[in-house]
C-alpha cells in the first residue's frame, strides 16, 4: 500500500506541476507586467491557497466537483465518471492548491527580468512572443526551477483538500500524506515513520538544493 | 478491478483477515478503505466509488438505500460489536469497572466522534447512562473514528479510551488493560453491510458479500470478539 | 547612396513633464544635448516606439512609423537602440548576442564580418557579457544594434559610465558609423565635449522642448546658447578644410571662413575636414602685424561689438576674412591700450583647438 | 460550536504570530546577513513546513509532545499538564507550521534594506543594535506587515497538524478548519458554508490589502 | 586650533585586486584620484572600518583606530562618510536624518544651526529624501555627516551623479569645510577638474597603490603623472597670492614664483590665495618685449629643455622668475624662427586659467 501511495503522489505531483507550468506561465507574465486594476485582486486570488485552510478549498471543490455540483455534473454527463474520488479530481484540486507556489516564483522572476531586456529585444526586431521565449523565459530559468520544485513538493505534501475531494481510494487517490494519516489510524507506526522520514528527507534535500542554486544573489543565470 | 470495500474503523482488522481468506478461496483482490462510518457515508454521497460498505450502524446503510445509492436487498447485519474501556500502559482500570471511571485518575479519555462513528455514539450513550458524561467532559478527546481514539491511547496521549472490543484481538494493539462495557448502557451496535450502486465491480461485490456471510468469515469475526449476526436482514 | 531622413513631430504628457519635439534627423551624427531631466531619453524612447503615451508622427522617408492612424510597434520600426547600460542579454554569449540581432535583421544590413571588425569585437565573441568591461560591453551593444540593419541608430549616453580612456576608444567608432553603414545616428549626451568631438548636427533640449537645432558650428557659436552649454567664455566653432601639408615644418594648412591657418601636431591628409574651437581666451589682440611668435596664426580682424563686463573684463566680437566671427576676452586696461572701438582694425593671434577630424 | 471554533482560531493565530515575530525577527536577520555555511541548511529548515505534508508535522509533533515524548515528558514533569490536546500544544505546532510565512518576508525585507543604510548608520555613530532598531526595522515595516498577515492567515487555515495534535476539543483545540471538516463529514453543509465563506472572504480581503500596500514597487516605505 | 592628522598604512587582498596604501591626511582637502577600479572606494571603506579583511594601522593623532591588536568598529571611529549615492534614510525626514546624526555625535562637533546654514538646507528640513533632487540630497548627506562631529570626513565621488550646474553649487561648500569645521576631508573623484578646483593635496592611485602624494601643484606639474591625469598638453599648476587690486582697470595683481601677474575678471581681496593652471597651449613665445597686447602678462623666461615631438610640434620647458617652471607648445617652424636653444632668453605671453580661490 505504501509504495502505491508514493507512486500516486509522484504522479499527482508531476501532472500538477506540468499543468501549472502551462497555465501558470502566462498568468505569471500577466501579473508581472500588467498595470490593470485587476492585477491586485488576481494576485490576491492566486495567493489565496497560501492562507486558506485546505479544508475550505476541499469543501468548495467537493461541492463543485461532486456529482451534483456544476462542474461535476457536467463531467459525469461528458465522461460517465465522477470527478470526486478520482485522480483527475485530485489534479484539479492540487492545481488550485499549489497555484501560488508555481505562479509566484515565475512572476517574481519575470519581474526581475524587467522591461530592459524586453525593450532591447524589440529594438533588435524580436516580436513580443519571440522575445518572451528567447529572452524572458531563459532569463527566468531559475524562477522556473524554484516554481517546479516548490509546486512538486507542495503537491506531495497536500493533505486536507485531497482528503476531502479524493478520500483514500488505494491506487487512485490515496496519496502519501493520507497514507501516513491512515497508518497512524491502523496503529502501523513503523510504516508511518518510514513514510514521514522519507518525505521529510526528500523535502529537505530538495529545499537545500534550490537554496544552494539560488544563493548566488547576483544575477548569474543558470546556463 | 479489485473489490473496493469501505469499512468502519472498528472492523478493519477482521476484514483484512477475511479479505485474505476470500482471495485465498479464489476471490478477486480486495481493497480496503478504513474510516468512520459517517465519513464513508459522506464520501459515498459525494460519489466515492466503493463496491461494499461495511458500516458500524444500521442507519447509514438504510439512508443510502433510500437515496438510491445502495442496492436494494443487499443489506444485512454482518456483526454485533462491543465496547471496551482500555487503560493505557502504566494506567489502571477503575476498580469497580466502567462506572467508576469518573472517580478514577483519568488524565484524558479518548472516544470516537459520536456524530461520525457509531462506537463514539455508543461511548457517549454509556457515559450518559452511567451519569459520568458531564463530569468527564473536560477530559474528553475525540478522534474522528474509533481507530483514531485508540491511536491517541497508543501514543500515550490519553490514559484511557473507549473503543471497539475487536482491537483487543488486533495485531499491533497497544499495551495496557481493558474491560468490557456492559452493552445495556448503550444501544446495541448492529453493523450492517450493503452493496453500492456506484461500485465499479458489482460481481466481485456480490461474491465478497456472499463470502462475508459464510461460516468461514463469521468464524473469523467471532475471533475478533464480535457476535455473529448470521444472515439477519433488516426487517 | 540616398539615405532617407527620419522626420518627427511628437508630444508626450507626464506628471510634471511634457515633451513637445519636432525635427529631422538626416544622415550623420545628430547630438541631442541638454541637462539631466530635460527629456533626451524620453525623445529616444518615443522614436523607438517604447512610450505608449507618445502621440504625433514619425516618418522614415516614405514609410510611416507613427501617425494618428498608424502605430508600428517597436520591433517593426527599423530602429537600432543602444541603451546607456548596454543591455546585453546575460544568458547569451557575445556571439549569441550578435547572432540574436543578425537572425532578426530587418532589411539589408551591414555584413557580419564588417561590423565585427569595425568594432573590434572578434576577440570577445566567446565571452559572456558579465565578463566584459564597460567599454567592451558598449562596443558589443553597438555591434549588435548595427547587425539588425537599422534605418536609424539611437544611442543614449553610451559613454556616460565609462572613464576618460575608454571614451577616447569608442568615440571615433561612433563618429564613423553614418558614413560606413549609411545610417543616421542620434547621440544623446549631456557632455558638450562629446557633442563637439562627435556630432555633425545638434539639437539643444530644455524642459521637453528642442530649443535649437542645426549644425554644431551654428548652434555652438550662437551667444543665445552659451549659458545652456555651460560656456565660461564666448566660444565659436569653425569648420576647416585641409588644403595642404607643409612637410618641412610638419605644419598643416587649413582653409576657414576666417582665412588660412597653419597648425602643427595634426595627422591629416588634404581634403579632410576639421572642426576647430576658439574661445575668447585663446585670442590675443595686438595693434600691428606682429613679429614672429609661437602662435603663428595672425588674422587681420575688425572690431564688431564690445561688451563691457563687470570686474575689468571686456568681450570683443571680431570679424575676420569672409565674415567669420570670433571673440576675444581682454582686460579693460588692454582695451584702453588698444583704443578699442567698433570698426577698428587689429590683428588677432590665435591658436584654435582641434576638436574633430572627419576622415 | 462554530463561534467558539472561530474564537479559538483567532486566539491561536494571534498568539502564534506574536511568538513568531519575537523569535522570527532575529532568525530572519541572521538569514539575511549571515555568510555562514549553515545559512542554506537553516534556510531550508525554515522553509520545510512550506512543502511538508501537515500530517507529517502532526505525526512528529504528536510523538514529541505526547506525555511519553521527549518534550511532552519534560512539560508534564514541569507543569503537570499534557501538551497534546492543549492550546499550548497547538501554539507550538502552529509556530512550526507557520514559521516560513513569518520568517521569509522579514528576511527578504532585511535583505532589501541591504548593507548601505546600515553602513551609513554606523558612519553616523550608531552601534549595530541601535542601527538594527532605528534603521533596519522601520525600513522593513512592510515586510513585518506581510509577515504578520501571512502568519495570521496561514495559522487560521491550519488543518492536518492540528487535526493530529489537537484532538478536536471544543473550546480548547477545535479550530475553525477542523470544524469545517467535521461539518462536511456530518453533511452539515450550511454550517460549513458559513464558516468557509467567512474564511474565504477574510483571507481574500487581507491579501488584497497586503498586495495593495506592497504594489508600489519603488521604495516608498510605510510611514 | 591644532588638528591632528590621520595616518594610515593599510593592506587588503581580494581576488584579482590588492590594496596597499600608506599616507597621511592632514587638514585641508585631500583628493584621491584615479581611474575606475583603482581602489579609491576601497581605501575609503578601509579607513571608515567597513572592510573586514583590511589589515594594517590607522591612527588619528594619538588615538589608534586600527592596529595589529586594536580594531575599532566603524561606529567608534570618528569618521563621517558621504557615499556616492547619498544614502539618506528613506523612512526619516530631512530633519530626522540630521537629528539621527546629531543625537549620536561623538565628541564635540559643529553647531546644528551653523551646519544647516552653511549647507543651505534650512528650506529642506521638512521634506522627505525621496522628494529631493540629486544636489539637495548630497547637501543633506554632507550636513548629516558633519553633524556627527567627525574627526575625518570621507567623501566618495559625492558629485559624480550630478550635472554641471549642480556641481558648481556644491564644490565651494566642500572646499570650505576644513577651515570652517576644523577637520580633514578626503575627497574621492576621477575628475581632474574637481581635484584642481577643490583639493589642497592629492593622492594619485593606480591598481591599488598610491603612486604619488603631495600638494596639487607638485603632483599635477610633474610630467611623470601627466598621462595618468589624461593631460593633452604639458600643464603646470601655480599657486598665487593676491597682492593688490588695480581698481581703475578692474585688474588683480598676483604674486607667483614666476613673478607678478595681472588678471581681470576676478572678485578677490588682497591676501587671498589662488590656484592657476597654465597649459603649454596658453603660452605664446616672442623674441622681444612686445608692444601692448590683450594678454598683458609678459614674463621674461629662459629655455630649459626642448622636446621635439612628431608632426611638427615642439614642447619647450621654460623657467621664469625665481625658478618657476612653465611649458610652451609651439610649431617646429616657430621654434626655428625663435632660434630656440637651451639657455636662450625669450618673452612669454601668458594668461593662466584661474582654478580656485581660497577665501
Ligand atoms: N518612467 C518615468 N515615469 C515618470 N516620469 C519619468 C519617467 N522617466 C523619466 N521621467 C521624467 O521625465 C522627464 C524627462 O526624463 P528623461 O529620462 O527623458 O530625461 P533625460 O534628459 O534623459 O535625463 P538624463 O540626462 O538624466 O538621462 C524627467 O522630468 C523625469 O523625471
Ligand atoms: N565587493 C567587492 N567584491 C570584490 N571585488 C570588489 C568589490 N568591490 C570592488 N571590487 C574590486 O576592487 C577593485 C577596487 O574597487 P573600488 O570600488 O575601490 O574602485 P574605485 O577606484 O572606487 O572605482 P570607481 O571609480 O569605479 O568607483 C576593483 O577591481 C573592483 O572590481
Ligand atoms: O468504526 Mo466507527 O464508524 O469509527 O465507530
Ligand atoms: Mg536619459
Ligand atoms: Mg568607487
* Whole-number pLDDT of residue D217: 42
| H or E segment to which residue A106 belongs | helix A87-113
**Among C44, C104, C154, the residue to mutate for chain A (most A Cβ within 10 A):** C104
What is the distance between the alpha carbons of residues D147 and D153, in angstroms, rounded to a whole number? 10
For ligand 2, say whether the CB of E89 is within 6 Å of any of its atoms.
no
| Four-point Cα dihedral E51, E53, E55, E59, nearest 10 | 20
| Residue from B15, B37, B38 whose mutation best tests the ligand 3 pocket (most atoms within 8 A of CB) | B37
* Whole-number pLDDT of residue C98: 95
Domain boundaries, chain C: 6-215, 235-358
What is the distance between the alpha carbons of residues C30 and C200, in angstroms, rounded to a whole number? 6
**Among D55, D85, D179, the residue to mutate for chain B (most B Cβ within 10 A):** D85
- Of A201, A210, A95, whose CA–CA distance to A146 is shortest? A210
E184 has pLDDT over 70? yes
pLDDT per residue over D110-152, tens digit each? 988 888 899 999 999 899 999 999 999 998 888 898 888 888 8
Alpha-carbon distance values, D35 to A211, D42, E72 (Å): 14, 12, 22
A14 has pLDDT over 80? yes
* Most confident of the ranges C66-70, C177-181, C282-286: C66-70
Q: How many of the other CB atoms lie within 10 Å of CB of C343?
A: 7
Q: Which strands form E345-350's sheet, in the order they lie side by side?
A: E283-286, E345-350, E297-309, E313-320, E324-331
Mean pLDDT to the nearest integer, C210-216: 89
Quick one: which atom of ligand 3 is closest to the CA of B11?
1
Beta-bridged to residue B112, according to DSSP, are B143
Quick one: which atom of ligand 2 is closest to the CA of E38?
21
Please count the CA atoms within 13 angstroms of the CA of E219 that sit on its side-chain side: 24
* Whole-number pLDDT of residue B93: 92
What is the distance between the alpha carbons of residues B93 and B104, in angstroms, rounded to a whole number? 8
Q: Dmax over Cα atoms in chain B, in whole Å?
A: 53
| Residue matched to cell numbers 541637462 | C35
* Whole-number pLDDT of residue B232: 45
* Whole-number pLDDT of residue B123: 96
Q: How many of the other CB atoms lie within 10 Å of CB of B34?
A: 24
Distance of CA E130 to the CA centre of its chain: 30
Cα-Cα end-to-end distance for chain C: 18
* Whole-number pLDDT of residue B235: 35
Q: What kind of architecture, by CATH, is found in domain E235-358?
A: Beta Barrel (2.40)
For ligand 3, say whether the CB of B10 is within 6 Å of any of its atoms.
yes
Render E88-100 in DSSP notation, one character per residue: --TTS-HHHHHHH
Strands E185-189 and E29-33: parallel
* Whole-number pLDDT of residue B67: 93
For ligand 2, say whether the CB of E41 is within 6 Å of any of its atoms.
yes
b/e string for D67-95 if b means 16 or more Cβ within 10 A?
bbbeebbebbeeeeebbbbbbebbbbbbb
- Of D158, D162, D150, whose CA–CA distance to D203 is shortest? D150
* Whole-number pLDDT of residue E167: 74
Contact A43 D211 (CB under 8 A): yes
pLDDT per residue over A76-99, tens digit each? 888 888 888 889 999 999 999 899
Backbone φ, ψ for residue D52 (5° rounding): -80, 140
| Four-point Cα dihedral E249, E255, E261, E266, nearest 10 | -50
How many Å lie between the alpha carbon of A130 and the closest alpha carbon of chain D?
A: 27
Render A189-200 in DSSP notation, one character per residue: HHHHHHHHHHHH
Backbone φ, ψ for residue C60 (5° rounding): -115, 100
* Whole-number pLDDT of residue E278: 85
For ligand 3, say whether the CB of B145 is within 6 Å of any of its atoms.
yes
What is the distance between the alpha carbons of residues E23 and C151, in angstroms, rounded to a whole number? 55
Which of D163, D167, D186 is closest, CB to CB, to B152?
D167
pLDDT in tens, chain B (235 residues): 899 999 999 999 999 999 999 999 999 999 999 889 999 998 898 888 899 999 999 999 999 999 999 999 999 999 999 999 999 988 999 988 888 888 888 888 999 999 899 999 999 999 999 999 999 988 888 888 898 889 888 888 889 999 999 999 988 788 899 999 999 999 999 999 999 998 889 999 999 999 999 999 999 999 998 987 654 444 3
Cα-Cα end-to-end distance for chain A: 41
Residue D171 is placed in which grid cell? 473550546
Distance C86 CA to ligand 4 centre (A): 13
Distance of CA B110 to the CA centre of its chain: 15
Least confident of A57-71, C85-99, C311-325, E28-42: C311-325
Q: Is C134 exposed, middle or buried (0-12, 13-18, 19+ CB in 10 A)?
A: middle
Contact C333 E267 (CB under 8 A): no
Inform me whether the C-beta atom of residue D184 falls under 8 Å from chain B C-beta atoms.
yes
Q: Answer whether B81's CB lies under 8 Å from B164's CB.
A: yes
Contact D186 B116 (CB under 8 A): yes
pTM over 0.80: yes
* Whole-number pLDDT of residue E163: 67
- pLDDT tier at E161 (50, 70, 90 boundaries)? low
Inform me whether the C-beta atom of residue B63 falls under 8 Å from chain D C-beta atoms.
no
Inform me whether the C-beta atom of residue B37 falls under 8 Å from chain D C-beta atoms.
no
For ligand 3, say whether the CB of B123 is within 6 Å of any of its atoms.
no
* Whole-number pLDDT of residue D6: 85
- pLDDT tier at E203 (50, 70, 90 boundaries)? very high
What is the distance between the alpha carbons of residues E188 and E210, in angstroms, rounded to a whole number? 13
| Closest ligand to the CA of C37 | 1
Residues 6+ apart with CB under 8 A from C97: C88, C89, C129, C140, C144
Q: Answer whether E90's CB lies under 8 Å from E130's CB.
A: yes
Quick one: which atom of ligand 3 is closest to the CA of B56?
3
At what angle are helices C164-181 and C134-147 packed, to 10 degrees?
10
DSSP B181: P
Better-predicted residue by pLDDT, E355 or B63: B63
Alpha helices, DSSP H only, in chain A?
Answer: 2-33, 39-51, 54-65, 70-79, 87-113, 115-123, 128-131, 137-139, 141-156, 160-166, 176-185, 189-215
Q: Is A62 exposed, middle or buried (0-12, 13-18, 19+ CB in 10 A)?
A: buried
- pLDDT tier at C11 (50, 70, 90 boundaries)? very high
What is the distance between the alpha carbons of residues E266 and E274, in angstroms, rounded to a whole number? 10
* Whole-number pLDDT of residue E292: 61
Q: Answer whether A53's CB lies under 8 Å from D12's CB.
A: no
pLDDT per residue over C262-295, tens digit each? 887 777 888 888 888 888 878 888 877 766 666 5
Domain C6-215: CATH superfamily, name plus number:
P-loop containing nucleotide triphosphate hydrolases (3.40.50.300)
ipTM higher than threshold 0.85: no
For ligand 2, say whether the CB of E189 is within 6 Å of any of its atoms.
no
For chains C and B, having 3+ Cβ pairs within 8 Å is answered: no
Amino acid at each position: 500500500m505504501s509504495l502505491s501511495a508514493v507512486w500516486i503522489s509522484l504522479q499527482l505531483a508531476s501532472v500538477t506541476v506540468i499543468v501549472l507550468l502551462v497555465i501558470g506561465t502566462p498568468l505569471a507574465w500577466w501579473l508581472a507586467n500588467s498595470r490593470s486594476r485587476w492585477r491586485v485582486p488576481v494576485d490576491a486570488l492566486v495567493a489565496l491557497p497560501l492562507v486558506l485552510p485546505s479544508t475550505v478549498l476541499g469543501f468548495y471543490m467537493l461541492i463543485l466537483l461532486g456529482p451534483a455540483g456544476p462542474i461535476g455534473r457536467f463531467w459525469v454527463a461528458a465522461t460517465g465518471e465522477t470527478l470526486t474520488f478520482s485522480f483527475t479530481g485530485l489534479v484539479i484540486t492540487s492545481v488550485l492548491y499549489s497555484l501560488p507556489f508555481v505562479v509566484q516564483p515565475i512572476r517574481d522572476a519575470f519581474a526581475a527580468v524587467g522591461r530592459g531586456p524586453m525593450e532591447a529585444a524589440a529594438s533588435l526586431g524580436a516580436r513580443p512572443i519571440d522575445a518572451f521565449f528567447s529572452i524572458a523565459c531563459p532569463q527566468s530559468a531559475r524562477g522556473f526551477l524554484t516554481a517546479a520544485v516548490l509546486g512538486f513538493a507542495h503537491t506531495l505534501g497536500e493533505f486536507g483538500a485531497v482528503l476531502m475531494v479524493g478520500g483514500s481510494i488505494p491506487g487512485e487517490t490515496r496519496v502519501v500524506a493520507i497514507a501516513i494519516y491512515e497508518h497512524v489510524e491502523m496503529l502501523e507506526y513503523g510504516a508511518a515513520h518510514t513514510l514521514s522520514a522519507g518525505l521529510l528527507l526528500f523535502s529537505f534535500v530538495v529545499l537545500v538544493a534550490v537554496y544552494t542554486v539560488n544563493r548566488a544573489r547576483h544575477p548569474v543565470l543558470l546556463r | 478491478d479489485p473489490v473496493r470495500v469501505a469499512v468502519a474503523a472498528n472492523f478493519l482488522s477482521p476484514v483484512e483477515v477475511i479479505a485474505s481468506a476470500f482471495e485465498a478461496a479464489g476471490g478477486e483482490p480486495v481493497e480496503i478503505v478504513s474510516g468512520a462510518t459517517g465519513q464513508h457515508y459522506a464520501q459515498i454521497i459525494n460519489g466515492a466509488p466503493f463496491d461494499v460498505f461495511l458500516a458500524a450502524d444500521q442507519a447509514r446503510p438504510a439512508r443510502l438505500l433510500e437515496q438510491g445509492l445502495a442496492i436494494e436487498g443487499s443489506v444485512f447485519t454482518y456483526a454485533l460489536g462491543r465496547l471496551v474501556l482500555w487503560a493505557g500502559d502504566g494506567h489502571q482500570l477503575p476498580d469497580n469497572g466502567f462506572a467508576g471511571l469518573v472517580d478514577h485518575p483519568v488524565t484524558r479519555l479518548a472516544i470516537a466522534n459520536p456524530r461520525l462513528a457509531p462506537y463514539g455514539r455508543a461511548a457517549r450513550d454509556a457515559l450518559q447512562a452511567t451519569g459520568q458524561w458531564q463530569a468527564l467532559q473536560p477530559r474528553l478527546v475525540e478522534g474522528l473514528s474509533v481507530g483514531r481514539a485508540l491511536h491517541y491511547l497508543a501514543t500515550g496521549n490519553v490514559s484511557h479510551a473507549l473503543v471497539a472490543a475487536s482491537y483487543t484481538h488486533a495485531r499491533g494493539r497497544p499495551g495496557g488493560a481493558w474491560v468490557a462495557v456492559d452493552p445495556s448502557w448503550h444501544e446495541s451496535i448492529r453493523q450492517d453491510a450493503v452493496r453500492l450502486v456506484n461500485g465499479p465491480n458489482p460481481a466481485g461485490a456480490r461474491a465478497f458479500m456472499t463470502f462475508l456471510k459464510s461460516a468461514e468469515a463469521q468464524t473469523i469475526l467471532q475471533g475478533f470478539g464480535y457476535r455473529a449476526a448470521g444472515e439477519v436482514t433488516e426487517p | 547612396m540616398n539615405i532617407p531622413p527620419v522626420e518627427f513631430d511628437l508630444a508626450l504628457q507626464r506628471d510634471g513633464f511634457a515633451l513637445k519635439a519636432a525635427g529631422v534627423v538626416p544622415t550623420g551624427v545628430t547630438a541631442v544635448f541638454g541637462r539631466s531631466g530635460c527629456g533626451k531619453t524620453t525623445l529616444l524612447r518615443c522614436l523607438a516606439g517604447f512610450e505608449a503615451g507618445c502621440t504625433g508622427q514619425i516618418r522614415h522617408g516614405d514609410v510611416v512609423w507613427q501617425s494618428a492612424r498608424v502605430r508600428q510597434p517597436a520591433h517593426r520600426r527599423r530602429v537600432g537602440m543602444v541603451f546607456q547600460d548596454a543591455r546585453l542579454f546575460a544568458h547569451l554569449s557575445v556571439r549569441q548576442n550578435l547572432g540574436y540581432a543578425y537572425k532578426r535583421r530587418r532589411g539589408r544590413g551591414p555584413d557580419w564580418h564588417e561590423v565585427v571588425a569595425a568594432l573590434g569585437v572578434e576577440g570577445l565573441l566567446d565571452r559572456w557579457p558579465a565578463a566584459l568591461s564597460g567599454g567592451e560591453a558598449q562596443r558589443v551593444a553597438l555591434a549588435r544594434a548595427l547587425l539588425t540593419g537599422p534605418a536609424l541608430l539611437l544611442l543614449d549616453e553610451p559613454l556616460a559610465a565609462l572613464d576618460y580612456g575608454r571614451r577616447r576608444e569608442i568615440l571615433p567608432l561612433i563618429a564613423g558609423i553614418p558614413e560606413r553603414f549609411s545610417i543616421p545616428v542620434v547621440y544623446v549626451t549631456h557632455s558638450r565635449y562629446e557633442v563637439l568631438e562627435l556630432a555633425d548636427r545638434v539639437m539643444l533640449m530644455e524642459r521637453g522642448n528642442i530649443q535649437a537645432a542645426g549644425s554644431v558650428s551654428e548652434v555652438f557659436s550662437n551667444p543665445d546658447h552659451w549659458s545652456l552649454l555651460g560656456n565660461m567664455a564666448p566660444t565659436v566653432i569653425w569648420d576647416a578644410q585641409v588644403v595642404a601639408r607643409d612637410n618641412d615644418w610638419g605644419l598643416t594648412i587649413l582653409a576657414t571662413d576666417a582665412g588660412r591657418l597653419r597648425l602643427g601636431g595634426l595627422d591629416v591628409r588634404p581634403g579632410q575636414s576639421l572642426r576647430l574651437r576658439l574661445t575668447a581666451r585663446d585670442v590675443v589682440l595686438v595693434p600691428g602685424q606682429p613679429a614672429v611668435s609661437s602662435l603663428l596664426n595672425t588674422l587681420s580682424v575688425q572690431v564688431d561689438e564690445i561688451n563691457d563686463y563687470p570686474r575689468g573684463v571686456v568681450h570683443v566680437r571680431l570679424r575676420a576674412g569672409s565674415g567669420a566671427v570670433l571673440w576675444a576676452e581682454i582686460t579693460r586696461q588692454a582695451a584702453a591700450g588698444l583704443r578699442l572701438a567698433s570698426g577698428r582694425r587689429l590683428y588677432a593671434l590665435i591658436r584654435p583647438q582641434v576638436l574633430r577630424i572627419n576622415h
